[in-house]
Amino acid sequence: MKPKARNAGIDYFRLIAAFLVVAVHTSPLTSVDGTVDFVLTRVVARVAVPFFFMVSGFFLLPGYINGQDKGPGKLYKFLQKTAMLYGIAILLYLPINLYAGYFQMQLLLPNLIKDIIFDGTFYHLWYFPAAMMGATLVYLLLKKFKSEHVFQITLILYLIGLFGDSYYGITEQIPFLKSFYDVIFLFCDYTRNGLFFAPVFFMLGGIIAGQSRHYQAKECWLGLSVSLALMLAEGLCLHGFDLQRHDSMYFMLLPGMFFLFQSLLLWRGQGNKSLRDISVIIYLIHPFMIVLVRGLAKAIQLQEIMVGNSVVHYLAVAVCSAIAAILITVVLERKGQGEWL
pLDDT at position 1, please? 46
Closest CA to 94 of 129, 125, 132: 125
Instruction: State how far the Cα of 120 lies from the Cα of 264, in Å rounded to an integer.
Output: 30
Q: What percent of the chain has pLDDT over 90?
A: 89
Judged on CB neighbours under 10 Å (0-12, 13-18, 19+), 158 is buried
Residue 339's pLDDT band, with cuts at 50, 70 and 90, is low
- Rounded Cα–Cα distance for residues 280 and 18 (Å): 7
Nearest CA to 5 out of 68, 58, 47, 80 is that of: 58
Q: What is the 3-state secondary structure (H, E, C) of 198-233?
A: HHHHHHHHHHHHHCCCCCCHHHHHHHHHHHHHHHHH
At 341 the pLDDT is 43
Dist. CA 167–CA 209, nearest whole Å = 31
Quick one: average pLDDT of 235-260?
Answer: 98
Please name the residues in contact with 82: beta carbons below 8 A apart, sequence gap of 6 or more.
Answer: 128, 131, 132, 135, 341
**259 pLDDT above the threshold of 90:** yes
- Surface-to-core class of residue 185, CB atoms within 10 Å of its CB (0-12 exposed, 13-18 middle, 19+ buried): middle
What average pLDDT does this structure show over 254-282?
93
Give the pLDDT confidence score for residue 70 in this predicted structure: 84
Q: State the Cα–Cα distance between residues 70 and 152, nearest whole angstrom.
A: 22
Q: Read off the pLDDT band of 268 (50, 70, 90).
A: confident
Does residue 336 carry a pLDDT above 80? no
Answer for the pair 122, 97: CB distance below 8 angstroms, yes or no: yes
Average pLDDT of the segment spanning 73-93:
97
Q: Does 110 have pLDDT greater than 70? A: yes
pLDDT, mean of residues 264-268:
90
Question: What value does the mean pLDDT of the chain take?
Answer: 95
Q: Indicate the DSSP class of residue 1.
A: -
Residue 6 — pLDDT band, cuts 50, 70, 90? low
pLDDT in the model for residue 4: 46
Query: Cβ(253)–Cβ(162) under 8 Å?
Result: no
**Would you put residue 120 in left (φ > 0), alpha (ψ -120 to 50) or beta?**
left
Exposure string of 232-260, with b = 16+ CB inside 10 Å and e = fewer, is bebbeebbeeebbbebbbbbbbbbbbbbb
**Per-residue model confidence as pLDDT tens digits over 209-237:** 998 888 899 999 999 999 999 999 999 99
Cβ-contact 202, 138 below 8 angstroms: yes
